[in-house]
C-alpha cells in the first residue's frame, strides 16, 4: 500500500487588488502597448501589486496568519505612472513611491517577523506585472497615469488550478481589495 500523496502547501502572498475602475484603466494601458507574439499577458483577474511574498506554508498556519497580518491601513492613492520592461517582464511602477505604501509594506514586514517569518531582504520595488516573455514589447507612447485608491490589502493563495489562479484568504479591512469571484478564472 502506498503512502497518501501529501497535499501541496499553498503559496501565499499579501497584495493590493485593483477594483473595477482601476482594472478598466489597466485594460486601456495594455491595449496601448505593442506586444510580441511570444508575450504572455496576464489576465486582468490576475493583476495585483504584491506587498510581501510569504511562500509555501502549511495550511495549519492560516488561522494565525489571518489574525497576525492585520495592520492599520491609512487610505492613500497609488499612482502607476511608469511603464517599464524589466528584462522580459512588462510592468507598471510608480515614481515616487507613495509614502503610505512604504509604511504599509514596513508594517506588514514587522507583522511577518512577529509571526516568525522573514520578509524579503531585497529593496521593495512595487510594480504590477502586465506580461512575461515581453522582450521587444513597445511601450505606450503616452506614459500611464493610473490612480488607484488603496483602502486595504489581501492575504492571497495561489490555487494551482488553471480555472482560478488566486483565492483571497483574508481581506484587510476592505472587502473590495480582493480578487472578485466572477473575475477569477
| Catalytic positions | 48, 127
Closest CA to 78 of 42, 102, 52: 102
Dist. CA 54–CA 49, nearest whole Å? 14
Report the greatest alpha carbon distance in the chain.
63
Query: Cell triple for residue 167?
Result: 483565492
Contact 54, 14 (CB under 8 A): yes
Query: Cell triple for residue 106?
Result: 514596513
Amino acid at each position: 500500500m502506498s503512502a497518501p500523496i501529501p497535499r501541496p502547501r499553498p503559496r501565499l502572498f499579501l497584495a493590493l487588488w485593483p477594483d473595477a475602475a482601476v482594472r478598466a484603466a489597466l485594460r486601456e494601458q495594455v491595449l496601448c502597448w505593442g506586444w510580441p507574439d511570444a508575450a504572455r499577458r496576464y489576465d486582468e483577474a490576475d493583476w495585483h501589486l504584491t506587498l510581501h511574498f510569504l511562500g509555501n506554508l502549511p495550511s495549519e498556519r492560516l488561522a494565525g496568519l489571518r489574525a497576525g497580518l492585520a495592520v492599520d491601513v491609512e487610505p492613500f492613492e497609488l499612482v502607476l505612472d511608469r511603464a517599464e520592461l524589466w528584462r522580459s517582464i512588462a510592468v507598471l511602477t510608480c515614481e515616487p513611491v507613495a509614502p503610505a505604501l512604504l509604511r504599509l509594506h514596513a508594517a506588514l514586514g514587522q507583522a511577518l517577523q512577529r509571526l516568525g517569518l522573514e520578509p524579503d531582504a531585497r529593496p521593495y520595488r512595487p510594480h504590477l506585472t502586465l506580461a512575461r516573455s515581453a522582450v521587444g514589447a513597445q511601450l505606450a507612447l503616452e506614459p500611464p497615469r493610473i490612480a488607484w485608491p488603496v483602502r486595504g490589502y489581501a492575504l492571497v493563495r495561489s490555487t494551482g488550478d488553471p480555472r482560478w489562479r488566486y483565492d483571497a484568504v483574508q481581506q484587510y479591512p476592505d472587502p473590495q481589495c480582493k480578487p472578485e469571484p466572477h473575475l477569477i478564472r
